Structure 1
Amino acid sequence: MMDTQKINDLNHGLCESGTLTDILLIDFKILISSLEVFDTSALQALSPLAQVGIVKRMQMAADIFVDKTSPATVQALADHRSDTVRGIAAFATARLTSTDDVPTLLSAIKPFADDTHFGVREWAWLAVRDKLMASLGDSLIALVP
């Protein structure tokens, strides 16, 4: 069982997760609140996050950032010490890169795909997979050397 200090640190974005179990234990409302980028009314949009699976939770959190903050805020999250916050930034970046141009999408997501943390690399793939599959021919051309 994980100690309460580790859970507290994960919830407040003070450390990276070590396992998928760590990621699943994070209370997104606490984590996102600790970033201090939203007012109280915007924080109410976080309540449904606890009721959905982890991939949907990441997508919904990213949507909240895109809808209620600026692209500069999303960009700042890309360097956060929390891998979960960087993962949310990957989803937000994919959403902000609303283009059918696959090379542009891949270029935007590359910093996340190159992240040192396994979780961020996985979030990067999950953030772009639907867009890549929607343009499968272009995706294959861009991805195959």
Structure 2
Amino acid sequence: MTDPKRKGARSTKDIPADILQQLNAGQIETANLVEWLAVDQKLLLENLLNQHKRIDYLSPILEKIDQLKKQTVNTINEAIGFELFELTIKNNDKEFLEIMSNHQADLIRCWATYTIGKNESLNITEILARIQPFSADKHFGVREICWMAVRPKIAKNLDKSIEILSGWTTNEDQNIRRFTTESTRPRGVWCEHIEVLKQNPELGLPILEPLKSDKSEYVQDSVANWLNDASKTQPEFVKQLCSRWETESNIKETKYITKKALRTLNKI
């Protein structure tokens, strides 16, 4: 896991050579976003496959990466995860899926989340059950990638997903609670919008209502961002909801959420 004493470099050029070598070897986790962006995922993959005697997986994955129209950290991450899923299924290699899911390197665990999102044999109940441990991961990168990996399936199975995720809103883990709103944001970040929620944000109330006075600022920010997304297409819904919440829950946590939720509307 991430060493709490290691804060990470402020720029890529400041990453010590030995740290970058350990990151690319999968020996340590990234400490911040700078390191996360600096990891050479192709080299990390090669080192992983060499270590576990699966180097024959490398060539087809690199071929998929080369075919990408745009190579970014996220598109490469997704391509590796998707192709690893295909290869492990083809070779009935459940062992390697387990290795990835429990690996000490955060980017490798990120790849594992895409093997869940790619699995067409799983229904949405099974997908969310399998992704939940990743939503509770202690590393920020894994938590962000895991909702991106399954968001398309959530969007395609929205009613059932909201029903399931509403049950997560009372989980004691703030990371799991945050997943419920972050994965369903109408607009989201680095992902396709969910048009149904942009036009009908009230569908998200089973998730939003239980979190309106959540004690975690991490969760509060996500709830507020969800509503800020919705305010760009359904401003009256967000205004009315925030007004009601402030009346029903006149505490600092709710006020923090509503103020941030209305930030775009208050600029108009």
C-alpha distance in 2 between matches for 1:110 and 1:95: 16
Q: SS at the partner of 2:55?
A: coil
C-alpha distance after superposition, 1:79-138 (max 9, x if no partner) = 111000011011112212543x32211101112111111111111111111110111111
Whether 2:95 is the aligned partner of 1:79: answer no
Mapping of residues 1-145 of structure 1, within 5 Å: 1-35=14-48, 36=50, 37-39=54-56, 41-42=59-60, 44-45=62-63, 48=66, 52-69=71-88, 70-96=93-119, 98-99=121-122, 101-145=123-167
C-alpha distance in 2 between matches for 1:46 and 1:38: 16
Report sequence identity in percent: 27
Larger radius of gyration: 2
Deviation at 1:45, TM superposition (A): 2.7
C-alpha distance in 2 between matches for 1:74 and 1:97: 16
C-alpha distance in 2 between matches for 1:115 and 1:3: 26
1:46/1:134 CA distance change after superposition, 3 Å: closer
> How many residues end up aligned between the 2 structures?
143
C-alpha distance in 1 between matches for 2:104 and 2:64: 21
CA contact (8 A) 2:97 2:112 kept: yes
What is the TM-score when the length of structure 1 is the normalising length? 0.88
What is the TM-score when the length of structure 2 is the normalising length? 0.50
Structure 1 gap ranges (5+): none
C-alpha distance after superposition, 1:46-103 (max 9, x if no partner) = 6527x5122211110012211223233122211111000011011112212543x322
CA contact (8 A) 2:65 2:76 kept: no
C-alpha distance after superposition, 1:14-61 (max 9, x if no partner) = 100011111111111110011122226446436527x51222111100
CA contact (8 A) 1:90 1:109 kept: yes
Off by >4 Å, runs of 4+ in structure 1? none
1:144/1:64 CA distance change after superposition, 3 Å: same
Give the residue type in structure 1 aligned to 2:98. Answer: Q
Q: CA RMSD in A?
A: 1.9
C-alpha distance in 1 between matches for 2:20 and 2:160: 42
Give the residue type in structure 2 aligned to 1:103. Answer: T
Q: SS at the partner of 1:76?
A: helix
Q: Which has the higher contact order (CA 8 A, sep 6+)?
A: 1
Structure 2 gap ranges (5+): 1-13, 168-268
